[in-house]
Each structure stands twice: as C-alpha cells, then as structure tokens.
Amino acid sequence: MAPSNQLEVPQKSRVTVVGSGNWGSVAAKLIAFNTLHINSFHDEVRMWVFEETLPSGENLSDVINRTNENVKYLPGIKLPKNVVADPDIEHAVRDANMLVFVTPHQFMEGICKRLVGKIREDAVAISLIKGMEVKREGPCMISSLISEILGISCCVLMGANIANEIAVEKFSEATVGYRENKEIAEKWVQLFNTPYFMVSAVQDVEGVELCGTLKNVVALAAGFVDGLEMGNNTKAAIMRIGLREMKALSKLLFPSVKDNTFFESCGVADLITTCLGGRNRRCADAFARNGGKRSFDELEAEMLQGQKLQGVSTAKEVYEVLSHRGWLELFPLFTTVHEICSGRLAPSAIVEYTEHSARLPLLESPVHLN
C-alpha cells in the first residue's frame, strides 16, 4: 500500500501543435509561454513541421531546433526554447492530450486520416484553421472533420489575429468556440490567454468557425475594391454586405448559430482586420490591378513565399454549397467573388454589385428557402 503522505499527483497536460506555418509558429510561441508558467501543463510544446529543405540544404525542423526560429514562416521572431520542432507527425502527437491543429485547411483530411489510432484516447483538440471541406452531403467544418475522423471533441479558436502582429506582442483578442464542455473550453482559454492576447469563450463552435472561414471571401472582395481604387465608402459597403452574407449563410447552414457571435473578436473584428491587412486582401488587390490577367496561383507563389491563400479555395467551396442548395442569387457578394476568382467575371464586377433589398430579408428566415 502507498504511504499516506504520497498524494496522487494530477497528470500534467501535454500539448502538440500540428502545423508550423506563420500562425502555427505564433500559436506555439503563445502556448509555450503559458506551459512554462502554468503548473498544470508540461513545459515542452511539440510542433509538427511539414519538413522541407531550405536553400542552405538544411532541414527546416533542424534549423528551428538549432536557432529557435522558424526562419521560413516566422523569420526574425525567437520561439521559446521549450518549443521542439518534430518532423515525424506520429511521434509528435503520441504523448499529447491537447492537440492544436493549425495547417492550411486543404491538408487536414489527409493529416487526420494519418493520425487515426495514433493519438491518446483522452486527447482533445482545438482548430485554428479557417476553411471548410465540401462533401456531397454538404459543407463539413474542419472541427467536425477532426471530430469525425479522430473521434475526439474539437473546439475552435478564431479572431482578429494577423499572426505577424501577435508575434511582436501587439494587443489583440480571440474567441474560443465550444460545443458543450465549458471546462475544456476554459482549459484552452488558459493555454492561449496572455496579457497581450485576450481570449474569451462562447458556446457556438459553428458560428465562430464560420466567421473565421467566410470572412476570407469578403477580404477578397475588399482587395478587389482596393485594387480598383474605389475608396473607403465602397470598401465599407462591401464589408457590411459581406458581414450580412456571413451571418445569413451561417444561420441557414446551422440554425443554432448565435447573433452575438458576430460581435465577438471572431466576427466583426476579424472581418475588419482581414479586409484591412490580410494576405487575401493583398493578393486580391494585386489581382484587380492586373485586370485579372495573372492567376491567384501565380500571385500566391510570388507574394506569399510558401504561405497559403485560403480565400480563393473557400470562395469556391462556398459557391459549391450555394449552387447545390439553389442559393446563389441570395448571396450575390459570395457568388460574384468566386466568379471573379475563376475568371468568369472581371474584377470590376464587384462594384457593379447592388444589394437586392427585396431578397435579403428572406435570408433571415430559412423557412422561406425550403
């Protein structure tokens, strides 16, 4: 029998970040600061690196571990020493009970399938990924994809979070969306929250995730407006109409989505920052300035140095959902953005858009659409 003075010590949580791009590296930085300071977490944070060879001939993961810097995706920022880069995904997740997913959304299905049977039974997840998969049955949010393939609960974290600004510790806010378990949500808040990164939780996974996903489509529209030099009034109008379409589509797809979610950091704040400063806006600006003659693939490769654009693929996915459900005419902004991206319309079509006031009230009540 154990001596009575040997109390059972609760197991410390172990965190692995699956992804090491721009936001993935900043997320690892935030988390690693907290795991060092909060007793209930194990100090070390594993960060899975999709391995690549740098121009120097070295592996990216070796350079991160030697220099404490992700020289490709977050140059100039030191990561805490307790972040350990690991190119072996199965090894990286093996001991973790808290999994943070943060890769471009198009890689997630493959990643999840590789992890089946490789994670701890008590693992829980959070997704920082903006995007969705479109299946024959309809849209599948990335948090649902993770839950369905891996059989674990998955929260989301979204917000007005341009990674490079958080990397230099400028104040910002973020929203955790959770389904039922408030305790798990609070643990995620504890893991991410710092004095310069204020996190709060709302019980609305789909609302939070759809805000983060759909705003990238609106950011492309804002970028077209900038590239056409239409000015601030037009851009504000596009943002307002975009927010309205974001809210309407979210509520049509998931009637449980709450209005208040759109006033959290993941909603209007993320929309504003993305339409002012994000990479989707920048590439769409360049696309419009070139009259749509240079493709988004070309602009992404030239302007983003390995980082991925999410808006163009999300616009296509949203278009597929709208077209499948017969909703294209109800969402003229989303529809027009995809038609511009795919070359069917000129960038100037975005400002030829007018709000069909007779149609939009229908968006508020899904019953009319059945």
Ligand X SMILES: NC(=O)c1ccc[n+]([C@@H]2O[C@H](COP(=O)([O-])OP(=O)(O)OC[C@H]3O[C@@H](n4cnc5c(N)ncnc54)[C@H](O)[C@@H]3O)[C@@H](O)[C@H]2O)c1
Cα distances from 2 to residues 5, 7, 8, 11, 12, in angstroms, run 8, 9, 10, 18, 21
Helices (H) and strands (E) in the chain — how many of each?
16, 10
Write each residue from 8 to 27 as x if it is in contact with ligand X (CB under 6 A), else as -, in one continuous string: -----------xxxxxx---
Interface of this chain with ligand X, residues 279 to 318, rule: CB under 6 A: 307-308, 310
Closer residue to ligand X (CB): 198 or 345 = 198
With contacts defined by CB under 6 A, name the span among 76-84, 148-156, 160-168, 199-207 that binds ligand X: 160-168
Among residues 161, 261, 335, 336, the one that binds ligand X under rule CB under 6 A: 161
The alpha-helical segments, DSSP class H, found in the chain are: 22-37, 60-67, 89-93, 108-115, 142-150, 163-167, 182-192, 205-227, 232-253, 270-277, 279-289, 296-304, 311-325, 332-341, 349-352, 360-363
Half-sphere exposure of residue 230: CA atoms within 13 angstroms, side-chain side: 23
Closest of 110, 105, 108 to residue 131, by C-alpha: 105
Residue with the shortest CB distance to ligand X: 21
Write each residue from 94 to 133 as x if it is in contact with ligand X (CB under 6 A), else as -, in one continuous string: --------xxxx-x--------------------xxxx--
Write each residue from 57 to 76 as x if it is in contact with ligand X (CB under 6 A), else as -, in one continuous string: ----------------x---
**Is 293 among the annotated ligand-binding positions?**
no
Among residues 43, 50, 173, 294, the one that binds ligand X under rule CB under 6 A: 50
What is the crossing angle of helices 232-253 and 332-341, to 10°?
A: 110
Closer residue to ligand X (CB): 266 or 330 = 266
Is there binding between residue 33 and ligand X (CB under 6 A)? no
- 170 as an active site residue: the answer is no
Q: Which of 29, 72, 215, 235 is catalytic?
A: 215
Closest of 143, 139, 219 to residue 184, by C-alpha: 143
Cα distances from 310 to residues 19, 87, 280, 294, in angstroms, run 15, 24, 7, 18
- How far apart (Å, rounded) are the C-alpha atoms in residues 146 and 256? 20
**Is 113 among the annotated ligand-binding positions?**
no
- How far apart (Å, rounded) are the C-alpha atoms in residues 288 and 353? 16
Q: How far is the CB of 343 from ligand X (least distance, A)?
A: 24
Residue 198: what residue type? M
Q: How far is the CB of 28 from ligand X (least distance, A)?
A: 10
**Is 310 among the annotated ligand-binding positions?**
yes
**Is 48 among the annotated ligand-binding positions?**
no
- Total residues binding ligand X (CB under 6 A): 23
**Is 187 among the annotated ligand-binding positions?**
no
**Binding site membership for substrate: which residues?**
130, 279-280
Residues forming the site for ligand X (CB under 6 A): 19-24, 50, 73, 102-105, 107, 128-131, 161-163, 307-308, 310
Residues acting as catalytic residues: 215
